[in-house]
Structure 1
Amino acid sequence: MPAPRVEIRDSAGIRIVENPRPAEGSRLAWRIGPEPLVSIGVLEGEEAYMLYGALDATRLSDGRIVVANLGTNQLRVFDASGTHLENWAAEGEGPGEFTSLSRVEPWPGDSIAAWWTRTAGISVFDSDGNYGRTFRLGGNDEDPKWLALRPQAATKAGSVLATWRWRDADTIVVHLRDGEGDLAASLGTHPGPDLHWADLGNGRYRTWEKIFGRRLVHAPWGDLVAIGVTERYEVKAFRDDGALARIVRRQHDLRPPGPADVEAHIELVVSYVPLGLSPQEKERYQEDLRRELGAVPVVEHLPALDSMMVDALDHLWVREFESPADVRPGILWTVFDPEGRVLGFVETPEELNIYEIGGDYILGHSADEFEVESVQLWPLDRRPAAEPG
């Protein structure tokens, strides 16, 4: 399949890459295996394999898999075949311990960085699980905006991509913080969520995001940081000094949401019910929620994209937005090369929430019909398909 025609130009030192949309129904020759090579997680069995709140995972250079298991606030370590080896850290507030563990990511020197949500503390461990240090993102207790500063991702260079949004503001500030948590560069202020304030009466209000409203998405991209807004197919890439280096666009036709899209979205939101409700309470909760959501404004166009991530070879993967009313057998991504030129579509298993994409694997999370969690490693073959004959 010939590569799509890409237009590249420079404007005031900024590289602008204009991409066409890959042909409808086309796919890159890259192949994802029909089943996972490794699956970690059981309904019953040894406690180490029973996952609860496995919010993230990463793979070390020797093939070991480290899982951030929120249910026990542990880093659970498995060998390349999925056999449990040991646990790193534990629940608590001491050195190398966690509360509300949420993320684990590679850190320079084959180390890992893990963080938890309550205080945005970031702890570093070496490849043998030895605790090194903990740091927090900068600021001080007298400046309350820093209480909202949250780590989002670690870069290859050992800095932290972080964001903060002041209360119900519709803008988001993006920072690069260094390995001590101090400000390395500001990447500017970007559009945040589209908000709607619902009047509940008696002076009470509830804040909703508008239906299909915009979100900010971001990911470290080689020595750059990619930032986009879901309402348009455009990604801006910033250098580590905060300067804009590249703008990548892809052709996209705007589509207004129809009644089926809105109804499916509302039903999806309503399907998430707090635990512990009786059947009557659940029904009442869902009825109230449907009524409130029915009054939330709907934006003019469906999002252009859903999310993005970057693989180990610095390819940018942009997940295509899919309305909950649409039916697709897998998850569709547009893949761009390290310079921002479109390569084509790749489809990943629908049930897999991807944590990490390596050179020859995809690591992610899945849950079955009984809500049994598993962390899975799927093979990824980037070689062109062999010619027939």
Structure 2
Amino acid sequence: MPGLRVLQICLCAASMLCGVASAASAQVVRVGAPTVRIGRDEQPGAFITAVAGAVRLPNKQIVVGNRGGEHTLLVFDEKGKFVRGLARKGKGPGEVSYLLWVLRCGNELFTGDIDGERVQVFTSELKYTRAFRFASQTYRLACNDRAQFVHMGWESPRDMRDGVYRAPTAFWISPADSTPGVSLGMLPGSERFGIVNNGKPVGSGPRAIGREPALAIGPTAAYVALGDSLSVRAFDFTGKLLRALTAPFTPVAATAADVDAAIERTVTELGESTRQRTTTEFRRMPMPRTLPATRDLLVDATGLVWVQAFPSARKTTVTWTLFRPAGEVAARIELPAALKVYEVGRDYLLGGIADDDTGIIEVRLYPVMR
């Protein structure tokens, strides 16, 4: 894969978002071509069916959350060679029925299981230590190095409508246990497509290329992007709204090709076995006039807030806007549109993507230069 195209934008004063910064204030973030590619290893047990997440441990081993196969956590060395599998499929301690997510929160690794929304905790040496359940059902979540979590809950069934709708949803911060945590209030949730028969709700699912909140949490604040504009709400750990991190945004018209791209992203995350169902569901939904403003959100190891614009099928790359916690834009970079970013350290970026030539799902490690 050729080196990634990088658009470097100097850090400017808040009132001069796109101006020229002085040398003292400039910050450049560059992402190079991948140095590690995981997914081509033909050793037994190393095959990746669908990626639920990936993390890099302090010893530089890479753990891939794999939906499918005998083990749900696949461990690779720093060069991408398969080491072992763990978290066997099951319901016992250290086993996983169906992996929802995997996160590294400081020096511990957390997994989310569909079985009763059970959360399990492993040390950085991948030894199982405990299990718990969050106090409330979680639709989406993120954590920081202190094992503090920011959550988005599920919409109430009472709010379900026939067709496209978007209902208010609870957002909150919690520690890594079953305590209720701190409320961030009710905010717009996932844009969904509901089915109602004879006046009774039957079910709902995320709207194809619909607006979806994205979450991240750093050392001093939790962040929520709602997808309506290139704006991120920052909350302190008492639940107080601090500020919005905002940059200019120009709406992009949605096309049928964007729906096709969304199908491919979903199949990469959920597995090839979901292709037919996903295709049927996504293509029967009404397409929005424009794409959402944002898709993903994370905080890197230096505290920068990375905000992904929603990928357009017209482009092979997508822009990530990097904010300082105080709100200034630090940089903008271009990454492959199909790349799902899981972690950004001081000197690396870890993401998942389907190879253009082979279709094989890979987890790739990219160098980050600052």
TM-score by length of 2: 0.80
Please give the residue correspondences for 1:178-257 in structure 2 after superposition, counting only pairs within 5 Å.
Answer: 178-195=175-192, 197=194, 207=204, 213-254=210-251, 257=253
Deviates more, 1:207-216 or 1:68-77: 207-216
Aligned match of 1:298 in 281, 285, 288?
288
Matching residue of 1:32: 31
Is the CA contact (8 Å cut-off) linking 1:233 and 1:251 kept in structure 2?
Answer: yes
User: Does the residue aligned with 1:66 lie in a helix, a strand or coil?
Assistant: strand
Q: Aligned-pair distance for 1:123?
A: 0.7
285 and 365 in structure 1: CA distance in 2 versus 1, 3 angstrom threshold: closer
Partner of 1:6: 14
Given the superposition, is the C-alpha separation of residues 305 and 20 from structure 1 closer, same or farther in structure 2, using an over 3 Å criterion?
farther
1:379 equivalenced with 2:337 (yes/no) = no
Q: Which residues of structure 2 form unaligned runs of 5+?
A: 1-8, 21-25, 161-165
Match of 1:15? none
Alpha-carbon distance, 1:275 to partner: 6.8
The equivalent of 1:320 in structure 2 is 309
Equivalent position of 1:330 in the other structure: 317
State, as a whole percentage, how many aligned pairs show the same letter: 25
Contact 1:198 1:208 in 2 (8 A): no
| Structure 1: tracts of 5 or more residues without a match | 8-18, 139-145, 383-389
Question: Does the CA-based 8 Å contact 1:224-1:240 persist in structure 2?
Answer: yes
Answering whether residue 63 of structure 2 is matched by residue 66 of structure 1, we say yes
Aligned residues: 342
User: Is this contact kept in 2: 1:73–1:100, CA < 8 A?
Assistant: no
Give the structure 2 partner of residue 120 of structure 1.
117
Report the equivalent of 1:308: 297
Q: Is 2:353 the partner of 1:366?
A: yes
Deviation at 1:124, TM superposition (A): 0.8
**Counterpart in the other structure of 2:4:** none
Mark the CA change 1:22 to 1:96 in structure 2 (over 3 Å): closer, same or farther: farther
Query: 1:157/1:28 Cα in 2 relative to 1: closer, same or farther (>3 Å)?
Result: closer
Distance 2:152 2:144 in 1: 14
CA RMSD, 1 decimal: 3.3
Q: Does 1:137 align with 2:134?
A: yes
Q: 1:275 to 1:223 in 2, by over 3 A?
A: closer
Alignment partners' CA distance in 2, 1:211 and 1:67:
26
- SS at structure 2 position matched to 1:190: strand
The alignment partner of 1:119 has SS state of helix
Distance apart, 1:265 and its partner CA:
3.7
Number of the residue aligned with 1:88? 86
**CA displacement 1:304-350 (0-9 Å, x = unmatched):** 222211111111111122333x22x3221111123221022111234
**Measured at CA, do residues 208 and 149 of structure 1 come closer, stay the same or move farther in structure 2, by a change above 3 Å?**
closer
**C-alpha distance after superposition, 1:133-153 (max 9, x if no partner):** 000012xxxxxxx4x434512
Query: Quick one: which amino acid aligns to residue 380 of structure 1?
Result: V
Change (3 A) 1:265 1:92: same
Q: Does 1:355 align with 2:342?
A: yes
1:160 Cα offset (Å):
2.4
CA deviations 1:175-214 (Å, max 9, x no partner) are: 2222222112111110123455567789887757667543
Structure 2 counterpart of 1:374, one-letter code = E
Maintained 8 Å contact 1:160/1:178:
yes
- CA separation in 2, counterparts of 1:375 and 1:212? 24
C-alpha separation in 2, matches of 1:100 and 1:28: 41
Q: Secondary structure at the match of 1:97?
A: coil
TM-score relative to the length of structure 1: 0.76
Counterpart in the other structure of 1:12: none
Structure 2 residue matching 1:193: 3-state secondary structure: strand
Q: Specify which of 34, 46, 51 is matched with residue 49 of structure 1.
A: 46
Q: Distance in 2 between matches of 1:289 and 1:322?
A: 17
Deviation sequence 1:237-257 (CA, Å, 0-9, x none): 1111211122222122345x3
In the TM superposition, residue 156 of structure 1 has moved relative to its aligned partner by: 2.1
Contact 2:148 2:175 in 1 (8 A): yes
Q: CA deviation at 1:61?
A: 1.3
- Native 8 Å contact 2:173 2:182 kept in 1: yes
Quote the Cα distance in structure 2 between the aligned partners of 1:126 and 1:66.
12
Structure 1 32/199 Cα, relative in aligned 2: closer, same or farther at 3 Å?
A: same
Aligned counterparts of 1:285 and 1:40: Cα–Cα separation in 2? 26
Equivalent residue number for residue 105 of structure 1 = 103
1:87-117 CA distances to partner (integer Å, 9 max, x unpaired)?
2321110111101113222234x22111123
In structure 2, the CA distance between the partners of 1:48 and 1:305, relative to structure 1 (3 Å rule), is same
